[in-house]
A and B are shown apart, each in its own frame.
Chain A
Amino acid sequence: GAVVSQHPSWVICKSGTSVKIECRSLDFQATTMFWYRQFPKQSLMLMATSNEGSKATYEQGVEKDKFLINHASLTLSTLTVTSAHPEDSSFYICSAAHGSADTQYFGPGTRLTVL
């Protein structure tokens, strides 16, 4: 149980284009979903927290107009990287938590490369 999927697993795009990443909880209802990015050899950096049906809460320094997050249902959240630039290249990982539980279950990650 507690399976989270992400799609796509990797994506290459041109500078200036937008990319959408999907995160789905497959066998539970995710009241809260989280989006992280991870650079090589570094720990996970929380970008934003989203609750179903509410606006996402972004961490300090994360541009909300660049990283659009939608959590329209209890099983799906999307992250759209708008007008992507090479510095946005990274490993993006989502996680999901059920109800008031603190344990987060992570997706397999999406490798974004912006040329």
Chain B
Amino acid sequence: EDQVTQSPEALRLQEGESSSLNCSYTVSGLRGLFWYRQDPGKGPEFLFTLYSAGEEKEKERLKATLTKKESFLHITAPKPEDSATYLCAVTGPYAGNNRKLIWGLGTSLAVNP
């Protein structure tokens, strides 16, 4: 069964304390892995799409990496405004226009000043 597992469930950091969030996936033929950030009461904000093992993408203090079994979202020197829930999702080799995302439950990140 296709599945996405995120860890930890919650993470509390001090401002400037770097860390990583994990997204492990089981899918028959990964087509894409997506990272989103969601603030309370808002829709998810797109961060990254990764397609193949070894791929890396960066945006400000965030860097996403991908292997054949998992993805990491590295947060370097986080600031309080990075506090949010980070969601990971994947798509498998579905045919046609079926591009259903399989979601993890997210990691709730709190960065203390």
Q: Which residues of A contact B (CB under 8 A)?
A: 2, 4, 6, 31-32, 42-44, 46, 49, 51, 57, 91, 93-95, 97, 102-109, 111
Residues of B within 8 A of A (CB): 31-32, 34, 36, 41-46, 49, 87, 91, 97-101, 103-106
Provided the pairs A46-B101, A49-B97, A49-B98 are in contact, do residues A105 and B46 lie with their beta carbons within 8 angstroms? yes
Contact residues in A for B87 (Cβ distance below 8 Å)? 43-44
Instruction: For B46, give the chain A residue with the smallest CB separation.
Output: A105
Q: Which single member of B32, B41, B97 contacts A103 (CB below 8 Å)?
A: B32
* CB proximity of B3 to chain A, nearest CB, Å: 12
Q: SS class of chain B's interface: helix, strand, loop or mixed?
A: loop
Which residues of B have CB within 8 Å of A111?
A: 41
B105 touches A102 (CB 8 A): no
Contacts of B41 in A (CB 8 A): 91, 109, 111
B44-A44 in contact (CB<8A): yes
A46 neighbours in B (Cβ, 8 Å): 100-101
Q: A93 vs B36: C-alpha distance in the bound complex, in angstroms?
A: 14
Q: Which residues of A contact B98 (CB under 8 A)?
A: 49, 57
What's the minimum C-beta distance from B51 to chain A, rounded to whole angstroms?
A: 9
Q: List 11 additional contacts besides A6-B43, A102-B32; criterion CB under 8 Å.
A: A31-B97, A43-B103, A43-B104, A46-B100, A93-B43, A97-B99, A102-B49, A103-B32, A103-B34, A104-B46, A106-B36
A43-B106, A44-B103 given; A108·B42 CB < 8 A: yes
Q: Are the C-beta atoms of B105 and A51 separated by less than 8 Å?
A: no
Shortest Cβ distance from residue A110 to the other chain B in the assembled complex, whole angstroms: 9
Which of the residues A43, A91, A102 comes within 8 Å of B99, measured between beta carbons? A102
Contact A106 B106 (CB under 8 A): no
Contact of B100 among A4, A6, A49, A51 (CB under 8 A): A49
